Amino acid sequence: MKVIRDQKFITFCEMLGSNMRFCRLKFGQPQKVLAAHIGVSHQNVQKYEAGDIIPSAYRLKQIADFYKVKTDDLVDPSFIHRSTVTNEVLDAAPKVEVINGNSWKW
């Protein structure tokens, strides 16, 4: 069966990939860890996150279980927004100050 790749399908794939990437980065793990857990190559995980391919229902369930979320969360366009506390990324970022052309982190 041939899949029709219209704009809605492409948007869905990209959103699913973004949600997967958000979960992975929240856990602070490389793609290889998820890949080993669900039995695919890290290249497949990379393609999932890029929206180039979509995981099967079985793999989607494995991914959701691994990240301790529901499969509905992974396919929800508002998942990242709902899961992010205001300024969470800014609070977690290291403070950087530039003095005389040198960057200092603390």
> In CATH, what number is assigned to the domain containing residue 54?
1.10.260.40
Q: Which residues contact 25 (CB under 8 A, 6 or more apart)?
A: none
Query: What distance in Å separates the CA atoms of residue 55 and residue 60, rounded to the nearest whole number?
Result: 6
Tens of pLDDT along 57-88? Answer: 999 999 999 999 999 999 999 888 888 875 45
Task: State the total domains in the chain.
Answer: 1
Share of the chain above pLDDT 90, in %: 64
| pLDDT reading at 7 higher than 60 | yes
With cut-offs at 50, 70 and 90, classify the pLDDT of residue 1.
Answer: low
Q: How far is CA 6 from CA 25, 57, 75, in A?
A: 29, 20, 17
- The answer to whether residue 88 is domain-embedded is yes
pLDDT given at position 103: 47
- The answer to whether residue 2 is domain-embedded is no
Q: Which residues span the domain enclosing 36?
A: 7-105
- The answer to whether residue 86 is domain-embedded is yes
- The answer to whether residue 1 is domain-embedded is no
Question: Which of 88, 84, 79, 83 shows the shortest CA–CA distance to 19?
Answer: 79
- The answer to whether residue 15 is domain-embedded is yes
